Every structure is written in structure tokens, then in C-alpha cells.
């Protein structure tokens, strides 16, 4: 550990939140239909989409109609992407001649990109054609991110309305987020990345001669355009198997810094946009501070963990100042840690180092960040939505303590909202622990493990945590391209994405019809240090009580096993 490392981590995390502030103001204007500088160009394009689809963007849907449109749209996207993956071998722009995917791999991949998870049970450069990457996966990177933003926009309207009827129009929210936010930002970022050396070509490969005179064939793709939305959309799936550790995707420390900041910038922007939209900037600022505290402490802890030498090297008498296994020497520990914390605190899943190679406590921390609900800051819209659910649970707990009906942002929180909130937060442990428990005793599932013992359990626990949390990163020792893993991980992704989404929309539907109340002497202030502490406590307890036993059996046991090696036991 050194001052330069701490400064690098602080700069990466701080710039993401700082840049997210003005982008959040802009995103709020887009959600609210206010005028922006892109209107003269994009308004006519937006109108064409509505006329072609027969959509009235001014029609406000009830929460059931909004949820139905969301599910129907994503269902159609799944069918289209599944068909593209299966038929890939007979389609154009396939210079490598890749065959179509197997049914279970196509199911897993289609679900993965529709749910904004981007889990990859395949190597991108050896499995998917240029057409599939560009038309199939990149399209879903835009639309799945816009779907998450739409959920947050609907929830914001529910808090603003007083005895309202609808939560907005899904088609308008999805279209405007894509056209006004995701597309222009991705174009700018892609051009910057191309200028910094990230590849962008339709050629299949390039030849190279190595230092010893041997020839190599290097796979090429239109990488920059897909990398931009992969990061800005908080998606994570890369065109190369090693993701952002690949020099064609992340060639320099500068591209590493830019793409690392891009992981979280729109997640933070959604927090600021929500605060401006609900006219409660101080209250949402408390949510941001709680997330920043948790993310900052996690980064500090992981930096301290990974700047220790691996116990096996200590036992062998090898001089090592840090755990560099699985990390790029050109980035080092600080840049690897900053990326790992951001990608697991958000639902991004991209990596510039191999998470399975982190020390056991570092791996446990990565899992724990995902198990908190992907709210630090999480996906675009989905992160702030679940953070609001946590805030609702916090004011409910506080209300029980003082014997008052809880309120949040001017809305009374009653039994119905708490029931929906519990559905939103309990589906994660149900999917993660349920599937892991079955896989741990099923021979078919155990065949996919590279390691046995505690690390093998960690591989399974990480996979289902990542899938249900819609993250997408992995402990690379698991061979997931098998019917059991592709199917159950796909089901976990569906549960983790759409059950909370419907629960949040149900909360919005329940709140929108309620009157907007002015604060009373009995209202708990939700912007001060007391509430921030309470919120952090609720988040940690929900994660800790549910997942600590599983973490104790996996990475924590492995940690003590490694210490035993050093002690010579």
C-alpha cells in the first residue's frame, strides 16, 4: 500500500460520482420530458418510432400496464436474440465461420443480455460472429440498460404524484433513455476509445510475427463501439474472453481509467436524476452518501487485502510485496482493485483482472458487494430503485421503534409496500442460496468445477450470486457451458431481474394513488447522519444475515486454510 495507490483508487471512484452529477441532471430532464439541446435532432426520430409502433407517449400507464409492456418488450427481445444465436452459422458477417450455438448456451446467452447480466459461458472471440456481437448483443446492451432506467423513472413519478393514476409510459421512457442518454454518450466514448488505440474493424483477424519468429493469428472485432455501451450501460460482457484485461480492448492505463469510470458514471447519474425528479435532493443525497461510504470502505479493505503477498509464496520463502496473480502488471493492484470494487458494486461484471485469483477475503468481498443487492450504485435505474426499497425498509424499522406510521418522501409506507419490498430483496438469497445448495450435491453440477473444497464452493456461490444479481463476472474456474449451469444460471438471471422489477413497479403503483404529505413533527428526517447510519445497518444486516453462513463455508474457510500453510500446520 502507498499514497499513489490510495490516490488512484480515490480518483477513479470520485470521478465517476462527480461526472454522474451533471449527467444526472440531464437524465432527469429526459425522464421528465423537459427540453434538451438534442431535441431538434432527436424529436423527429422519436416521433417516427412512436408512429411506427402506434404508441401515444403522453398516455400514462398504470403499474400493471407498465409492467406488462416491460415484460412483453423484453420477452420479444429474448426470442429475437435466441433465434439469432441459434441461426448464426447461416447468417452474413460471419468471417470466422462460427456455427450456431447449442440450445442451452443460446438460452443462457439470450437471457443474460436481455437481463443486463452479460454472463458469458463462452469465449467471445471463438464463439460469436461479428453480426451476432453487433446486432444481437450490442442492441440488448442498449435496451436492457434503458429498461432499468425506465423502472427508476416510474418510481420517481409515484413519489411526485398526489393521488395520481399512472406511473408513466414504458415505451416513451425506454425510447427517450436510449436516444437521448445512451446513444450519444456511447458514440462519444467509442470515438475516444478508437483514438486511444482500441480496435474497431469488421476484419476477422490480423497476422503477427512473435519475438521468436513464430506467426500468430489475432482475432479482431468492432471492439470500441461495443466496449462503450458495455461500460456505460453497466452491462459488462466483452467481445474477448478475458474482457478488459485484453490489450485490444484496454490497451493503456488511460483507457483503463476512462472505462473504469464509465462503469459507474450512469449508475450515479440515475441517483442524482431520481433526486431531482422527486424534488428531494437532500434525501437522495443521503442515499448517495450511504452508497459512497460502503463502496469506499470496500475499496480500502480490498486494497489492504490484495497488497499482502500470497501465503503460498510466503511459505516458499519468495519475496513478494503484493498478490499479483491474475492481475495485469501494466495496471497493478490499485487499478485492479478499483475496477473490481466498482464492477461488483454495480451490476457491470466487466473485469480487468481475474477475480478467482484474488485472495480468499478479496473474493469474499466481491461476492458480498453483489449480495448487498447491486446498489453501490448498481445498474442504471435498477440500483437507485433497490436503494429506495432499502430506504423504505429503513423507515419502516424506525417506525416500529417509535410507534409511528413510517413515511418516505411524503408518502406513507404501509403493509402493502413492505410486502412488495420484501419480495424485491428476498428473491436474491432465494435464487443464490437455493441453486447453490442443489448444485453442491448434484454430480452433474460438480463436474464443472476446477477446484474442490472451499474454493469449489466459492466458484458455485459466486456464479449464482453474479447471475441473480445481474452482474455477469465470474470465478473463472467454473466450466459453465453445460446444460445444468446454462439453464439454472439463466433462471437465476430471470428471477434476479424481473421479480424485483415487478415488485418495484408494484410499489410505485401503490404509492402513486396516495396523497403527497407535508412533513410533520413525527416524520423521521431521511437526510441526516442518523438515517444514513440506519440505512447502512439495514443494508449490511440483510446481506450479512442471509449470506454469511455460505461465505463462511467458502472463502473464509479457504482463508484459514491458507494461513495454516504459512504456519506449517
56-93 pLDDT, tens digit each: 999 999 999 999 999 999 999 999 999 999 999 999 98
Q: What is the pLDDT of residue 450?
A: 87
H or E, element range at 34: none
How many whole angstroms from its chain centre is CA 498? 14
Contacts of residues 159-162 at CB distance under 8 Å and 24 or more positions apart, as own/partner, are 159/278, 159/280, 159/409, 159/410, 159/411, 159/511, 160/277, 160/278, 160/279, 160/516, 161/512, 161/516, 162/514, 162/515, 162/516
Residue 548 CB burial class (10 angstroms; 0-12, 13-18, ≥19)? middle
Q: Angle 520-525-531 (CA atoms, 0-180°, nearest 5)?
A: 155
Cell representation of residue 396: 419502516
Cell representation of residue 520: 410533520
Using left for φ > 0, alpha for ψ between -120 and 50, and beta otherwise, residue 168 falls in left
Q: Angle 533-538-540 (CA atoms, 0-180°, nearest 5)?
A: 95
Residue 431 neighbours by CB under 8 Å, 6+ apart: 464, 467, 468, 491, 492, 495, 496
Residue 25 neighbours by CB under 8 Å, 6+ apart: 272, 273, 276
Three-state SS at 553: helix
Three-state SS at 329: coil
d(CA 388, CA 377): 12
Does residue 467 have a cis peptide bond before it, meaning omega lies within 30 degrees of 0? no
Q: What is the pLDDT of residue 111?
A: 97
List pLDDT tens digits, range 462-518.
Answer: 999 999 999 999 988 889 999 999 999 999 999 999 999 999 999 999 999 999 988
Output the CA torsion 322→324→328→329 (10° steps): 60
* DSSP letter string, 170-193: HHHHHHHIIIIIIHHHHHHHHHHH
d(CA 364, CA 37): 45
Mean pLDDT across 16-37: 96
Q: Residue 2 — pLDDT band, cuts 50, 70, 90?
A: confident
List pLDDT tens digits, range 263-278.
Answer: 999 999 999 999 999 9
List pLDDT tens digits, range 405-435.
Answer: 799 999 999 999 999 999 999 999 999 999 9
Residue 165 neighbours by CB under 8 Å, 6+ apart: 60, 62, 512, 513
d(CA 357, CA 312): 13
β-pairing, 411-412 vs 205-209, is: unpaired
Over pLDDT 90: what percentage of the chain? 81
CA distances from 114 to 90, 143, 217, 293 (A): 23, 8, 32, 31
d(CA 249, CA 263): 15
Q: What is the pLDDT of residue 567?
A: 67
Q: Residue 212 — pLDDT band, cuts 50, 70, 90?
A: confident
Residue 112 neighbours by CB under 8 Å, 6+ apart: 118, 119, 120, 237, 472, 490, 493
pLDDT over 70 (residue 568)? no
d(CA 256, CA 244): 8
d(CA 563, CA 561): 5
The candidate with the shortest Cα–Cα distance to 301, out of 260, 358, 349, 350, is: 358
* DSSP letter string, 266-301: HHHHHHHHHHHHTT-HHHHHHHHHHHHHHHHHHHHH
Q: What is the pLDDT of residue 542?
A: 83
Q: Angle 432-373-80 (CA atoms, 0-180°, nearest 5)?
A: 70
Over pLDDT 70: what percentage of the chain? 99
Residue 211 neighbours by CB under 8 Å, 6+ apart: none
Mean pLDDT across 538-542: 91
Is residue 471 within 8 Å of residue 267, measured between CB atoms? Answer: no
| Helix, strand, coil abundance in the chain, percent, nearest 5 | 65, 5, 30
H or E, element range at 206: strand 205-209
d(CA 72, CA 49): 17
Residue 74 neighbours by CB under 8 Å, 6+ apart: 114, 115, 143, 144, 147, 498
Q: What is the pLDDT of residue 92?
A: 92
CA distances from 71 to 170, 379, 476, 557 (A): 10, 18, 32, 41
List pLDDT tens digits, range 434-468.
Answer: 999 999 999 999 999 988 899 999 999 999 999 99
Q: What is the pLDDT of residue 569?
A: 56
List pLDDT tens digits, range 105-162.
Answer: 999 999 999 999 999 999 888 899 999 999 999 999 999 999 999 999 999 999 999 9
Q: Residue 165 — pLDDT band, cuts 50, 70, 90?
A: confident
Q: What is the pLDDT of residue 272?
A: 97
> Which residues on adjacent β-strands are paired with residue 327?
353
Mean pLDDT of the chain: 93
Rounded to two decimals, what is the model's pTM?
A: 0.95
Amino acid at each position: 500500500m502507498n499514497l499513489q495507490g490510495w490516490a488512484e483508487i480515490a480518483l477513479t471512484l470520485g470521478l465517476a460520482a462527480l461526472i454522474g452529477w451533471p449527467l444526472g441532471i440531464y437524465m432527469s430532464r429526459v425522464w421528465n420530458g423537459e427540453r434538451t439541446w438534442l431535441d431538434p435532432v432527436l424529436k423527429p426520430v422519436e416521433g417516427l418510432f412512436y408512429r411506427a409502433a402506434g404508441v401515444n407517449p403522453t398516455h400514462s400507464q398504470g403499474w400493471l400496464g407498465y409492467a406488462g409492456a416491460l415484460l412483453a418488450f423484453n420477452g420479444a427481445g429474448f426470442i429475437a436474440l435466441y433465434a439469432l444465436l441459434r441461426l448464426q452459422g447461416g447468417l452474413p458477417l460471419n468471417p470466422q465461420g462460427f456455427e450456431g450455438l447449442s440450445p442451452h448456451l443460446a438460452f443462457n446467452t439470450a437471457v443474460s443480455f436481455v437481463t443486463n447480466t452479460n454472463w458469458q459461458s463462452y469465449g467471445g472471440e471463438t464463439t460469436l460472429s461479428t453480426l451476432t456481437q453487433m446486432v444481437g448483443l450490442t442492441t440488448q446492451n442498449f435496451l436492457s440498460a434503458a429498461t432499468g432506467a425506465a423502472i427508476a423513472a416510474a418510481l420517481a413519478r409515484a413519489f411526485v404524484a398526489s393521488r395520481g393514476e399512472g406511473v408513466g409510459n414504458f415505451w416513451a421512457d425506454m425510447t427517450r433513455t436510449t436516444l437521448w442518454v445512451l446513444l450519444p454518450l456511447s458514440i462519444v466514448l467509442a470515438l475516444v476509445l478508437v483514438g486511444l488505440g482500441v480496435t474497431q474493424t469488421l476484419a476477422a483477424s490480423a497476422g503477427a510475427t512473435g519475438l521468436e519468429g513464430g506467426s500468430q493469428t489475432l482475432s479482431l472485432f468492432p471492439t470500441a463501439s461495443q466496449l462503450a455501451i458495455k461500460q456505460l450501460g453497466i452491462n459488462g460482457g466483452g467481445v474477448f474472453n478475458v474482457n478488459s484485461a485484453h490489450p485490444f480492448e484496454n490497451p493503456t492505463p488511460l483507457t483503463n481509467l476512462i472505462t473504469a469510470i464509465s462503469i459507474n458514471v450512469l449508475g450515479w447519474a440515475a441517483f442524482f436524476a431520481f433526486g431531482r425528479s422527486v424534488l428531494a435532493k437532500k434525501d437522495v443525497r443521503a442515499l448517495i452518501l450511504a452508497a459512497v461510504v460502503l463502496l469506499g470502505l470496500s475499496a480500502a479493505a480490498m486494497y489492504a487485502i490484495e497488497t499482502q503477498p500470497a501465503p503460498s509464496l510466503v511459505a516458499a520463502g519468495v519475496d513478494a510485496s503484493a498478490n499479483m496473480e491474475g492481475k495485469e502488471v501494466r495496471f497493478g493492484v490499485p487499478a485492479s482493485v478499483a475496477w473490481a470494487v466498482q464492477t461488483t458494486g454495480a451490476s457491470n461484471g466487466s473485469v480487468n483482472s481475474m477475480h478467482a485469483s484474488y485472495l480468499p477475503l478479496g473474493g469474499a468481498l466481491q461476492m458480498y458487494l453483489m449480495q448487498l443487492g447491486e446498489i453501490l450504485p448498481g445498474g442504471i435505474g435498477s440500483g437507485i430503485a433497490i436503494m429506495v426499497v432499502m430506504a423504505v425498509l429503513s423507515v419502516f424499522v424506525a417506525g416500529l421503534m417509535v410507534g409511528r406510521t413510517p413515511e418516505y418522501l411524503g408518502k406513507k409506507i404501509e403493509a402493502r409496500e413492505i410486502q412488495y419490498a420484501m419480495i424485491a430483496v428476498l428473491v436474491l438469497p432465494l435464487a443464490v442460496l437455493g441453486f447453490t445448495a442443489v448444485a453442491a450435491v448434484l454430480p452433474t453440477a460438480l463436474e464443472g468445477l476446477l477446484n474442490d473444497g472451499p474454493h469449489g464452493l466459492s466458484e458455485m456461490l459466486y456464479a449464482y450470486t453474479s447471475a441473480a444479481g445481474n452482474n455477469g463476472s465470474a470465478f473463472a474456474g467454473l466450466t459453465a457451458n453445460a446444460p445444468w449451469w446454462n439453464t439454472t444460471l439463466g433462471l437465476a438471471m430471470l428471477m434476479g431481474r424481473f421479480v424485483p422489477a415487478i415488485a418495484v413497479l408494484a410499489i410505485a403503483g401503490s404509492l402513486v394513488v396516495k396523497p403527497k404529505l407535508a412533513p410533520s413533527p413525527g416524520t423521521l428526517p431521511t437526510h441526516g447522519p442518523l438515517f444514513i447510519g440506519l440505512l447502512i445497518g439495514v443494508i449490511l444486516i440483510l446481506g450479512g444475515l442471509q449470506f454469511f453462513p455460505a461465505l463462511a463455508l467458502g472463502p473464509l474457510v479457504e482463508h484459514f486454510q491458507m494461513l495454516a500453510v504459512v504456519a506449517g500446520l
